[in-house]
Structure 1
Amino acid sequence: MTTATETPLPAVTRLIATDLDGTLLRDDKTLSARTVAALAAAEEAGIEVFFVTGRPARWMDVVRAHVQSHGTAICANGAVVTDLRTEGELLSVRPLERDAALHVVRTLREAAPGTSFAVELTTGINYEPSYPPFHLDPGAAVAIAEKLLHEDAPGSGAPVLKLLAHHSELAPDAFLALARTAAGDRAAFTRSSPSALLEVSGLGVSKATTLEACCAERGIAAAEVVAFGDMPNDVEMLSWAGASFAMGNAHPAAVAAATGRTTTNEEDGVAVVIERILAARAERR
């Protein structure tokens, strides 16, 4: 694994795709002045910056003030594309079908007793009584997952973006492996939390597949993309991009998937690479 200063960069960088938590954001969920300046400089140089995160669109205020000419964000691990220059407008949605979500619920209840669930909809999140409460979403409905996923008529409910599965005793990576074995044929499983919290999307939905579609719309090839991430939900994106960097604080799976490694999120690891990209561009002129 090469470092931020050794990893080859694309001959032409047209798009930067960066995760947020543990990557672009510091541990206190803020952006450093150096990172803000690097993002602005990239945009000024004509490089699109995509925020690609497991967060729902409603939790994007942490970066909304730093959007420049481009405001595209891929949220909920690829289930949603939104323009941060608007007030939460969803440009596209790739839902988890409710029958698949119910299958996952039934399967994990049997395979991992003690699992509790939350359901992330386009309208917000709801969760089971035993699920760790969401203090950022005080208006959530609380009920068993089967009730939260019930529709009076097919298609009458809001689209499901993610199913969240939490276990208080299993090790995070062991829980992920168990879930993929038990129900990986019906949905996509990943994780981004340090706890045993799984994020379940529609089959084939990931940061990478949605980023690839967004790039195709713009005529941008994978070889022209530089990506950053730190957790298992970044693995596919790091593997797809022409150049990719795992953070110094990254999970081993992200490190293995990336073409290089940068410093930690607390050490402005994304900005370090962006500055290098811009310096290389200036040298070629």
Structure 2
Amino acid sequence: MTLPRGSQTPSDDDSPLPARPRLIATDLDGTLLHDDKSVSERTVKALTAAEEAGIEVFFVTGRPARWMDIVSDYVHGHGMAICANGAAVVDLHSDGKLLRSRPLDRTVALDVVRALRDAAPGTTFAVETATGIHYEPQYPRFAEDPAVSLGTAEELLRASGPDAYAGAADAADAVDAVPVLKLLAHHTDLTPDGFLALARTAAGDRANITRSSPSALLEISGTGVSKASTLALCCAERGISSDEVVAFGDMPNDLEMLTWAGTSYAMGNAHPDVLAAASGRTVTNNEDGVAVVIEEILARQQRR
């Protein structure tokens, strides 16, 4: 059931919420975080209250582990977060220690690079590994994330270690030494959704291609690797079914998670595809839409 646009919280009679959810899975940027990347006091209070009520909270994000300091204090008992669109499960209580990786095969990544160079000339790339990010010289770098190394995507994907690359010949025996978590592709002229559609046509049979940025920046993971599939693995380990999960998101990289979860909420600021796919809608991230629903979950439990 989809809530009417503008609905903030459901009543007990029309609520899409499960009677007793066991896990809340929430995206960060554009969802839990305000636009200034802050976490409001209301949201912190709601997350704490959920865990105190026995509902686990998982942050499920496209961010790398090293960008998780903004929320690491708010993961309570388990300390786990799903990062890099499902390619990594990390322990935020241990400075982002990698607990599980679902890497992108380097040979496949090279194949995707070639396909996108042919389909969209001018595409530039960055390579996100378990030890940091590596840029092509023309790729628009993240100000807070300096390069581990620079080179063409082909050189970076053949690199033997986290600190530098020696070239394909020197690295041939150690091509998979460091897991590649995702490949990033950027285009200066194409629209974000246009670039996504083109990339999926050119290489969608070889990798999972999605986006979460307002710019034409694509995030490319191994086939079958997504927020949803890794969340499903973590839930199975806990004996939690999809029907017991409430998920929140705002961008195309959240779609699989929102359709997998028994109950899902699109933020009021969400991409149109997310609004269409989710079972409910809350208010915007800047209005603490996640906290609004968590408060309703807890209030309903108290009324029972």
Report whether the alignment pairs 1:68 with 2:76: yes
| 1:176-255 matches, cutoff 5 A | 176-255=196-275
- Asked if 2 retains the 8 angstrom alpha-carbon contact of 1:108 and 1:182, the reply is yes
Do structure 1's residue 281 and structure 2's residue 301 form an aligned pair?
yes
Structure 2 CA distance for partners of 1:218 and 1:157, relative to 1, 3 Å: same
TM-score normalised over the length of structure 2 = 0.92
In the aligned structure 2, how far is the partner of 1:14 from the partner of 1:156?
A: 37
* Match 2:153 to one of 117, 124, 145: 145
Which whole-Å deviations, capped at 9, do the CAs of 1:155-200 have from their partners, x for residues lacking one? 5430100000000000000100110111111000000000000000
Q: TM-score, normalised by structure 1?
A: 0.98
Q: Verify the 8 A CA contact 1:4 1:245 in the aligned structure 2.
A: no
Correspondent of 1:80 among 61, 85, 88: 88
Aligned partner of 1:233: which letter? Answer: N
2:93 is aligned with 1:94:
no
In structure 2, how many angstroms separate the alpha carbons of the residues matched to 1:186 and 1:67? 34
Greater mean alpha carbon deviation, residues 250-259 or residues 129-138: 129-138
Q: 1:38 aligns with which of 31, 34, 46?
A: 46
C-alpha distance in structure 2 between counterparts of 1:108 and 1:207, whole Å? 23
Question: Cα deviations across residues 233-279 of structure 1 (Å, max 9, x unaligned)?
Answer: 00000001011000000001111111000000000000000000000
Distance across 1 between alignment mates of 2:156 and 2:267: 36
Please tell me whether the aligned partners of residues 56 and 76 of structure 1 are also in contact (alpha carbons under 8 angstroms).
yes
Once the two structures are superposed, what CA deviation does each residue of 1:69-119 show, in whole Å capped at 9, x if it has no partner?
A: 231100000000011111221110000000110001000000000000000
The number of residue pairs the alignment matches comes to: 284
Residue 107 of structure 2: SS of its match in structure 1? Answer: helix
Is the CA contact (8 Å cut-off) linking 2:26 and 2:249 kept in structure 1?
Answer: yes
* Structure 2 counterpart of 1:263: 283
Residue of structure 2 aligned with 1:120, choices 103, 125, 128 = 128
SS at 2:233 equivalent = helix
What secondary structure, in the 3-state scheme, does the structure 2 residue paired with 1:208 have? helix
- Aligned sequence identity (%): 69
Shift in Å, 1:53? 0.1
Verify the 8 A CA contact 1:83 1:91 in the aligned structure 2.
yes
Paired with 1:156 and 1:109, the residues of 2 have a C-alpha distance of 23
Indicate conservation of the 8 Å contact 2:135/2:147, yes or no.
no
Aligned counterpart in structure 1 of residue 184 of structure 2, from 124, 144, 164: 164
Q: Which residue pairs with 1:19 in the alignment? A: 27
Deviation of 1:133 (Å): 1.6
The whole-number CA distance in structure 2 between the counterparts of 1:155 and 1:129 is: 21
How far apart in 1 are the matches of 2:110 and 2:244? 39
2:163 equivalent in structure 1: none
Return the alpha-carbon distance in structure 2 between the equivalents of residues 168 and 144 of structure 1: 18
Query: Runs ≥4 in structure 1, deviation > 6 angstroms?
Result: none
Q: Distance in 2 between matches of 1:204 and 1:68?
A: 29
- After superposing the two structures, state which structure 1 stretch, 146-155 or 9-18, moved more: 146-155
CA change 1:156–1:226 in 2 (3 A) is closer
Alpha-carbon RMSD across the aligned residues, in angstroms, is 1.0
Letter in 2 for 1:12: R
